[in-house]
Amino acid sequence: MVAVFVIILLALLFFATEPVPVDITAIGVMVALMLVPPVSELLVSVGLLGAPIETITPEQGISGFSSAATITVLAMFILSEGVQRTGVVQLLGAKISSLTGDDESKQLGAIIGLVAPISGFINNTAAVAILLPMVTDLAERGRTSPSKLLMPLSFASMFGGMLTLIGTSTNILASQLSERLGQEHPGTGLDAFSMFEFTQLGLVVSLVGTVYLLTVGRYLIPERIKPQVDLTEEFEMAEYLTEVTVREDSPLVGQQVQTALVETEFDVDLIQLIRDEEVFLEPLGPKQIKAGDVFALRTDRNTLVELLDVEGLDLVPEVVVDEAELEAASGGQNLVEVVVAPGSSLVGESLASASFRQRYDATVLALRRGGELIRRRMDNIPLRVGDTLLVQATTQSIERLDQNRDFIVAQEIERHDYRESKIAVAVGIVAVVVGLAALDFVPIVVSALAGALAMVATGCLKPTEVYDAVQWDVVFLLAGVIPLGIAMEQTGAAALLAELVVMTGEFLPLLAVLGVFYVVTALLTNVISNNASVVLMIPVAFEAARTLGANAFAFILAVTFAASTAFMTPVGYQTNLFVYGPGGYKFTDYMRVGAPLQLLFAVVTTLGIAFFFGLRP
């Protein structure tokens, strides 16, 4: 138990501080658990330990990779991608945005009414990634602050994911853990969750969450970003953008753009070239600078004063460098917000180390991290998930960014690669997957894998797109933390923790003990991964229910719901990180809006479980 608790504490520390990605921490947990027995045997052989420590076998350690939960989640990513490639969600979003106008109440109602049910049938993280551009465009057209709409988008996706078994990876993992506990303890009656096992409770929670977001939550959400049509105004770029012309005597004449200003200390980016009334964007590097060239620059005023004198440049008078000026290169979109996605290869890299400009033919004008705006000396700042970059590029480069898994482009881009003719096929495949699992004709893992295969066979997905569709960090996270639950049960760690909670049953009614599990799991999930908190808490909840003679399913369900609804921090759930930068939120905004909702859900979920499922076997 001591060995397991040490590993758990270290894992919690790593999950909370993220010195490495959470999936790497999970694999580290798995490896540590498997190393304990052989290392302890070595210590016994040299007389440093009295007896070997047994945690898990190597077979149990790698069992997460063959777990039905892991494979089901993998297949669900592929199903979600197949639906996304048809553009059906974008079409629905466009229809809804045309009906809402500039009425904030209608906009909120439409967003919640769209994302919640969608999140019940495709992965809720994918649902937010797909709908985020639609919501930011909706805010722009309706002159509404995006801050007012993006947090509700994230929150609604979370409680919408509780409508069915496949709404979140957490539900699927909890189902597999429940099935394993039922097999190990036959008298408990536990089994895997059915497709609509807790839909009635999910509907109640979703209704309460919707009412909250449309009333109290709406007034608690701050307007961090003022309604703006111009992105340069939104990022407050007026003091950082200007145009200069190259004089005849400039030392830059004859140099290539990629070598100009490289060896100086100036914090400046050449972002756009105007020559003979023709506008050029990236790649500017190979172009040779000529006298009379006009450059749009990103720099600050102090640097500009030095730059004009040293490099032989003149200010272009009476020119305001705004979004219209930066989009003069073509009829398409040249200026967009780009969000760094979870699992992005750029996380931990800087713009310089990732060679962002050269790799993507795009220039970063500003960086927003929550409520903080950075518009100078950005090149060496390590990027984080949720960082929002103001990017200027050609229309073709922006389309490539939109298709890149490392980013979410926060404006709707006109894409020509949607397979609209496959909409009915993709939606039909998901319906069949849900139907087969709901009728218990085959286990969900079988129907999900068959559905993933059908997506490829029918042309909704190309074979090469299958591997890109999977969020491998989530898959490895699941595979890594599943052995931790096994170790907790086998060593008695879960039983010990359960005994501590059961002590509250001496002075609290059973309903309140159930509420304690919800609150503890919710608090834990707001700090560490939702999947990790389920693995830690379900064995404890199960042991506590057995000791109290309570309905084990009710306690497992409380943990499952709490782990899937983390509203109080931006790091508690991936969807919160998605909207953190584009909404311009502060860390405390999630506590301000999310804490009352979390408390409300604690009451509603606990009472709902008691009403629908009962507290006694």
Based on the domain organization, do 220 and 259 belong to the same domain?
A: no
What pLDDT, on the 0 to 100 scale, is given for residue 603? 95
Per-residue pLDDT at 458: 93
pLDDT of residue 213: 95
User: pLDDT tens across 296-342, in order?
Assistant: 888 877 777 777 877 778 887 766 676 666 766 555 567 888 888 87
Q: How far is CA 464 from CA 86, 287, 307, 345, 399, in A?
A: 16, 36, 48, 19, 19
- Note whether 564 and 470 are same-domain residues: yes
Query: What does each C-alpha distance from 100 to 144, 157, 374, 460 come to in angstroms?
Result: 12, 20, 33, 31
Chosen domain end from 319, 354, 387: 319
Residue 288 DSSP one-character state: B
Q: Does residue 416 lie in a domain region?
A: no
Averaged pLDDT for residues 163-182: 91
Task: Provide the pLDDT for residue 252.
Answer: 83
CA-closest candidate to residue 575, choices 12, 113, 161, 99: 161
Q: Out of 128-132, 221-225, 592-596, which region has the weakest mean confidence (pLDDT)?
A: 128-132
How far is it, in rounded angstroms, from Cα 441 to Cα 40? Answer: 46
* Same-domain status, 85 and 30: no
What is the rounded average pLDDT of the residues 174-188? 89
pTM: 0.81
Task: Check the CA dihedral 112-116-122-123 and report its sign.
Answer: positive
User: What's the CA gap between 570 and 574, in Å, rounded?
Assistant: 8
pLDDT at 420: 86
For residue 415, being part of any structural domain is answered with: no
Inside any domain, residue 544: yes
Question: In this model, does residue 471 exceed pLDDT 70?
Answer: yes
Distance CA 360, CA 282 (A): 9
* CB 33 within 8 Å of CB 7: yes
Asked if the structure places residue 39 within a domain, the reply is yes
Q: Is residue 232 part of a domain?
A: no
Domain presence at residue 256: yes
Max Cα distance, the chain (Å): 90
Residues 121 and 189 placed together within one structural domain of the fold? yes
pLDDT number for residue 209:
95
Q: How confident is the model at residue 158 (pLDDT cuts 50, 70, 90)?
A: very high
pLDDT the model gives residue 331: 54
- Distance of alpha carbon 456 from alpha carbon 78, whole angstroms: 9
Name, of 122-136, 301-315, 328-342, 539-553, the range with top average pLDDT. 539-553
Are 523 and 390 in the same domain?
A: no
> 366 with 477, same domain?
no
Q: Are residues 145 and 117 both part of a single domain?
A: yes
Distance CA 218, CA 222 (A): 9
Write down the pLDDT at residue 552. Answer: 93
- CATH number, domain at 313? 3.30.70.1450
Give the pLDDT score at 492: 83
Percent of the chain at pLDDT exceeding 70 = 95
Q: Please say if the pLDDT value at position 231 is more than 80.
A: no
Highest mean pLDDT (candidates 120-129, 449-458, 562-571): 449-458
460 and 596 in a single domain? The answer is: yes
Q: Is the pLDDT at 162 greater than 90, yes or no?
A: yes
Q: Over the stretch 576-605, which tens digit does the pLDDT of each residue have?
A: 888 888 888 888 899 999 999 999 999 999
If pLDDT is split at 50, 70 and 90, which confidence band does 241 have? Answer: confident
Q: Are 616 and 550 in contact (CB under 8 A)?
A: yes
Confidence of residue 416 (pLDDT cuts 50, 70, 90): low
What are the structure tokens assigned to 497, written together? 């923790």
The pairing of beta strand 278-280 with beta strand 241-246: unpaired
pLDDT at 263 over 60: no
Query: Is 424 inside a domain boundary?
Result: no
Average pLDDT over residues 395-405: 82
* pLDDT surpasses 60 at 575: yes
Q: What is the pLDDT of residues 67-91, one digit of tens each?
A: 888 898 899 889 988 988 888 877 8
12 is a domain residue: yes
Q: What is the mean pLDDT of the chain?
A: 85
Residue 60's domain spans which residues?
Answer: 1-64
182 and 155 assigned to the same domain: yes
| Overall domain count for the chain | 4
Domain-ending residue, one of 46, 64, 82: 64
Q: Is the pLDDT of residue 152 over 90?
A: yes
Is the same domain home to 189 and 204? yes
Read off the pLDDT band of 429 (50, 70, 90): very high
pLDDT > 90 fraction of the chain, expressed in percent and rounded: 25
Mean pLDDT over 177-192 rounds to 88
Do 60 and 72 lie in one domain? The reply is: no
What pLDDT shows up at residue 357?
80
* Whether 262 and 383 share a structural domain: no
pLDDT at 361: 82
